[in-house]
Amino acid sequence: MNILVLGSGGREHTIAWKLAQSDNCRNLYVAPGNSGTASIATNVPVNVTDFKAIKEIVLNNNIAMVVVGPEDPLVQGIHDFFLEDEALKNVAVIGPQKAAAELEGSKEFAKEFLYKHNIPTAAYKSFNAETVEDGYAFLETLKPPYVLKADGLAAGKGVVILEDINEAKTELKAMLVDAKFGNASTKVVIEEFLDGIELSCFVLTDGKNYKILPTAKDYKRIGEGDTGLNTGGMGAVSPVPFADGTFMAKIKDRIVEPTINGLQKDNLPYKGFVFIGLIKVGNDPYVIEYNVRLGDPETEVVLPRLKNDLVEVFQAIANQTLDTITIEIDERAATTIMLVSGGYPEAYEKGKEISGLDAIEGSIVFHAGAQEKDGKIVTSGGRVMAVTSYGETYKEAIKKSYQNIEKLHFDKMNYRNDIGFDLS
C-alpha cells in the first residue's frame, strides 16, 4: 500500500525508515519531511495541520494509510477529519481521534481522566483567571518545589517548576492573567512535586487491545548532569535498566490496563501510540503526563528494537486485530545521542553544512532539523540529527554512538557527552 507519514523530525525519519523495510509498503511519502526522509521516501512540502492539502496528497497518490507523527494535527482532529469525509473515511489513520487527543491537549483533562480511573498521579488542582486568588491559597498548602502546568499545548515549554513561593505566585499570575502562554494558559494545573527518576512507557492500542512496547528514558535538559534549559530531548536509552519485571508488572496493572479500559469506558476512540510519561517514586510508578504520539528522540531507540513489520502492526491497529499480533523485541539495548545547533534551545543559526555522514559505521543516523540544499545536507533546526546504536548493554551502545559522532561535523555542533549517566 501507499503510506503517508506526517512530520519532519527524527521521529518521523525513524518511522519512515521502519515502514520502508516492509514488503507491504509500496510508495512512501513524508510531509513535510527532511533530508533523511528524502533518501527513503518522497517528501511533499505540506504543513502537518493543513488538512485540505493533506487530503489532496492522499487522493492524488492513492494513499491507504496516514501515520501522524506530532501532536498538533491529532489535537486539531485530523483523524475525525478523515472519518467525516466520504473520500477519506476508509484511509487508515494511525493516531487517536480528537476527543482522545485531549489527553495531551489539556493537562486538566488528563488529570481528570487519571483521577476518575484511579491511576496513580500527583495530587492537583486547576485554576483560571477568576480563581487566581484560590491558586495562591492552594500554593500555600503545598511544599516546594511548586509545579505549574499550562493546560494547553505550549510546545513543551508549558511546565514551570519553582522553589520559591513568591516566584510561583508571580508565575501563576503571568500564566493566567497575562496569558504568558496565550490560550494554552487560560487554565493552569498546579500539582504536587514528585521526587524520583523518570521513564517513558509506550503502548500501542487499537481501541480494544493493546501491546506494550519497550520502555525508554530521555534526557531533556541541554546541560550535562541534567542541568540548564529544557529541550525537546538530547538523547535516549532503551530499555530502561531500572524497569525490571516487578516494576513493569506494576506499570501494566496500575497504569496501562486502567488507561486502556478508561479510554473505552469514556468513549475516547484511540488507534495509535500512547506515550505514558512516568516517574518512579520509591518503588512505585506515577503518571506525569500522557502524550498521544511517539516521543522524539524516544522513537529513535524504541522502533529500532521492534522486530515486527510495522505496516502489519499498523494494519492490525486499523482493523482492531492487534490481539492477533505478537510483538517481538530485539534483546539488544539501543541508545541515541542528539546533535544540536550551538545556542539551542535558545537562538541558533541554520544552514550549516553537515559533513562526515559517509564515514558512519555501525550506527544509524536519523535526520531531524536537516535539509538537502544544492546537493549538501545542511542544518535547518535546533535538533539536527540523532545517532542511534545497538549494543549488548546500553553502555556499549552509547560508546558506539560517541565513536561515530567523532566523525560528524557542522559549525557550532553541540551534544551531551553524558547520556545514560544516571543509570549505573
**Least distance (Å) from ligand GLY to the CB of residue 89?**
30
Q: Which lies closer to ligand AMP via its Cβ, residue 196 or residue 241?
A: 196
Residues 272-293 as b or e (16 or more Cβ within 10 Å = b): bbbbbbbbbeeeebbbbbbbbb
Q: Which lies closer to ligand GLY via its Cβ, residue 292 or residue 306?
A: 292
- Residue 189: its H or E element: strand 187-191
Work out which of 12, 102, 191, 296 binds ligand AMP, going by CB under 6 A.
191
Work out whether 158 is an interface residue with ligand GLY (CB under 6 A): no
Count of residues in contact with ligand AMP, rule CB under 6 A: 10
| Binding track, positions 283-302, relative to ligand GLY; x by CB under 6 A | --------x---xx-x----
Work out whether 104 is an interface residue with ligand GLY (CB under 6 A): no
Work out whether 272 is an interface residue with ligand GLY (CB under 6 A): no
Work out whether 122 is an interface residue with ligand AMP (CB under 6 A): yes
| Binding track, positions 205-224, relative to ligand GLY; x by CB under 6 A | -------------x------
Q: Which lies closer to ligand GLY via its Cβ, residue 61 or residue 230?
A: 230
Q: Which stretch binds ligand AMP (CB under 6 A): 61-69, 176-184, 189-197, 322-330?
A: 189-197
Whole-angstrom Cα distance, residue 118 to residue 134? 25
User: Helix, strand or coil for residue 94?
Assistant: strand
**Least distance (Å) from ligand AMP to the CB of residue 277?**
5
Per the DSSP assignment, residues forming a β-bridge with 2 are 63
Q: Which stretch binds ligand AMP (CB under 6 A): 171-179, 188-196, 297-305, 326-334?
A: 188-196
Which partner from the list ligand GLY, ligand AMP, none does 291 bind, CB cut-off 5 to 8 Å by kind? ligand GLY
**Least distance (Å) from ligand AMP to the CB of residue 8?**
21
Work out whether 233 is an interface residue with ligand GLY (CB under 6 A): yes
Largest separation between any pair of C-alpha atoms in the chain? 60
Residue 243, number of CB atoms within 10 A of its CB = 22
Q: Which lies closer to ligand GLY via its Cβ, residue 38 or residue 294?
A: 294
| Sign of torsion over alpha carbons 409, 236, 105, 19 | positive
Let me know: does 186 contact 143? Beta carbons within 8 Å: no
Q: Which lies closer to ligand AMP via its Cβ, residue 114 or residue 386?
A: 114
Let me know: does 100 contact 266? Beta carbons within 8 Å: no
Which partner from the list ligand AMP, ligand GLY, none does 122 bind, CB cut-off 5 to 8 Å by kind? ligand AMP
| Sign of torsion over alpha carbons 384, 390, 393, 396 | negative
- How far, CA to CA in Å, does 347 sit from each of 107, 344, 382, 410? 28, 6, 9, 17
Work out whether 159 is an interface residue with ligand AMP (CB under 6 A): yes
Judging by beta carbons within 10 Å of its beta carbon (0-12, 13-18, 19+), is residue 318 exposed, middle or buried? Answer: middle
Q: What is the DSSP string of 354-411?
A: PB-GGG--S-EEEESSEEEETTEEEE-SSEEEEEEEEESSHHHHHHHHHHHHTT-B-T
Q: Which lies closer to ligand AMP via its Cβ, residue 195 or residue 374?
A: 195
Q: What are 70's three cell numbers? A: 506530532
Q: What are 46's three cell numbers? A: 505540506
Work out whether 198 is an interface residue with ligand AMP (CB under 6 A): yes
Given the rule CB under 6 A, which residues bind ligand AMP? 122, 147, 159, 191, 193-194, 198, 277, 288-289
Given the rule CB under 6 A, which residues bind ligand GLY? 218, 232-233, 291, 295-296, 298
